[in-house]
């Protein structure tokens, strides 16, 4: 049960992932009656583990879920850079043998964290699955929302927490092209229920402009395949077999364990494909609507911080409501101002460091990275 102030104000949150569930927690605490609308049948599961570090540790402590996260953490031990003969060219020891686990940074499975957040809010928040917002209209004191199932309802506020292809952003702020910056790379994620490498180990194999990452934990292995492309590739985002073929065509004929990994990718039940891009907006709020998480400021998976930025962003908004005692206009202004420098710094770091070290462009750069690691 979340401690909340009592008001009769209402907020609709679009999207039930990290941004949406965390925003639901903080808005409920600020006294809002919260409804979350999620387009999927349930929570959208899948994806690689999420990092909880730095500022985010303090936030999950304030939310009362720190111990739960800690007890479910994954303890990665070693990162290895492989060449095409499967020889290890460099390593980064993430944890020494016998060394106790860090207290200031955790990795946790995406699904486990989603379930922890859902359990935190499920009794205080109304969830509507398999529905979505189709239009928004400002009225004098409210915002009128029309849903895909035809119903119409007024809310005091709407929060777009619906990810990188946010429909709230599209409906209220303008088309994706205005805000989305393509980073010249595509990636796929497949998770198989077996260990393809030693547990708690990550392996990288690169060829110029392409990267393969294996990540093994809890009897699972993530297979991440990433390639560079100067231009955007037209594809149907609902057509998974077309996306699998794009990846297959890019990687077929490559060395190391590529044939085996492509077969796993083609046979797998889970598959996630997207372009690497960043969302940059001059303001994350307009009128009675705000964006939180990837919808407003995706830094791209290359930042390795998608989950934590969403958790941090929701807390920044929650703190702003606390600071201005529920005055949403002042709270929105504060959220835009105080959270922006951190986002700009993370997005810049991806451009200057992340992309080059994850997917180097030449054999020389690969060799240098393999020997020097990621420099963290």
Ligand X SMILES: Cc1cc2nc3c(=O)[nH]c(=O)nc-3n(C[C@H](O)[C@H](O)[C@H](O)COP(=O)(O)OP(=O)(O)OC[C@H]3O[C@@H](n4cnc5c(N)ncnc54)[C@H](O)[C@@H]3O)c2cc1C
Binding region for ligand X (CB under 6 A):
14-20, 37-40, 44, 46-48, 132, 161-163, 167, 189, 272, 293-295, 301, 306-307, 310
Residue (45 or 91) nearer to ligand X, CB = 45
SS3 111: helix
**Minimum separation from the CB atom of position 78 to ligand X (A):** 20
Q: Of 3 and 149, which CB lies nearer to ligand X in the complex structure?
A: 149
Residue nearer to ligand X on the CB measure, 129 or 260: 129
Nearest approach, Cβ of 70 to ligand X (angstroms)?
19
* Helix, strand, coil tally for the chain in percent (to 5): 35, 30, 35
Based on CB atoms, which residue is closest to ligand X, 284 or 330? 284
Closer residue to ligand X (CB): 38 or 156: 38
Helices assigned H by DSSP within 73-159: 110-121
Strands 50-53 and 105-108: antiparallel
Supply the minimum distance, in Å, between the C-beta of residue 40 and ligand X.
Answer: 4
Nearest-5° angle of CA 301, CA 307, CA 312? 125
CB of 170 to ligand X, least distance (A): 9
Q: Whole-number minimum distance, CB 373 to ligand X, in Å?
A: 20
Tokens of 334: 């504060």
Question: Beta strands of the chain (E only): which ranges?
Answer: 10-14, 33-38, 50-53, 78-82, 88-93, 105-108, 126-129, 133-138, 143-147, 152-155, 157-160, 180-192, 201-207, 210-217, 220-228, 272-279, 285-286, 289-291
**Which of 226, 331 has the CB closer to ligand X?**
226
Q: Taking the CA atoms of 138, 140, 141 and 144 in sequence, report the sign of the dihedral they define.
A: negative
Which residue is listed with tokens 């039930």?
16
- Smallest gap from residue 140 Cβ to ligand X (A): 26
């Amino acid at each position: 049960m979340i401690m909340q102030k009592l008001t009769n104000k209402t907020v609709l949150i679009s999207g039930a992932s990290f941004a949406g569930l965390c925003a639901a927690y903080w808005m409920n605490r600020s006294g809002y009656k919260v409804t979350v609308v999620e387009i999927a049948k349930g929570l959208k599961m899948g994806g690689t583990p999420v990092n909880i570090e730095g500022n985010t540790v303090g936030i999950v402590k304030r939310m009362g879920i720190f111990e739960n996260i800690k007890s479910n953490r994954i303890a990665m031990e070693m990162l290895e850079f492989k060449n095409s003969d499967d020889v290890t060219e460099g390593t980064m020891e993430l944890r020494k043998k016998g060394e106790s686990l860090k207290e200031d940074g955790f990795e946790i499975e995406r699904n486990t964290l989603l379930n922890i957040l859902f359990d935190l809010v499920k009794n205080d928040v109304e969830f509507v699955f398999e529905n979505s917002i189709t239009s928004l209209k400002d009225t004098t004191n409210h915002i009128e929302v029309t849903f895909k199932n035809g119903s119409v309802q007024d809310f005091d506020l709407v929060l777009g927490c619906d990810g990188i292809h946010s429909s709230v952003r599209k409906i209220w702020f303008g088309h994706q092209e205005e805000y989305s910056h393509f980073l010249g790379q595509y990636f796929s994620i497949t998770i198989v229920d077996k260990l393809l490498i030693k547990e708690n180990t990550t392996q990288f194999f690169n060829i110029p402009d392409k990267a393969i990452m294996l990540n093994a934990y809890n009897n699972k292995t993530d297979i991440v395949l990433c390639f560079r492309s100067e231009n955007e590739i037209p594809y149907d985002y609902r057509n998974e077999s077309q996306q699998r073929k794009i990846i297959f065509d890019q990687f077929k004929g490559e060395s190391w364990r590529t044939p085996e990994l492509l077969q796993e990718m083609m046979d797998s039940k889970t598959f996630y494909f997207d372009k690497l891009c960043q969302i940059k907006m001059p303001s994350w709020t307009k009128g009675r609507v705000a964006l939180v998480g990837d919808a407003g400021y995706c830094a791209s998976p290359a930042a390795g911080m998608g989950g934590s930025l969403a958790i941090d962003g929701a807390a920044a908004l929650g703190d702003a409501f606390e600071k201005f005692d529920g005055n949403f206009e002042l709270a929105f202004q504060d959220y835009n101002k105080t959270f922006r420098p951190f986002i700009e710094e993370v997005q810049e770091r991806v451009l200057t460091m992340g992309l080059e070290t994850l997917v180097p462009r030449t054999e020389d750069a690969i060799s240098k990275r393999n020997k020097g690691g990621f420099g963290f």
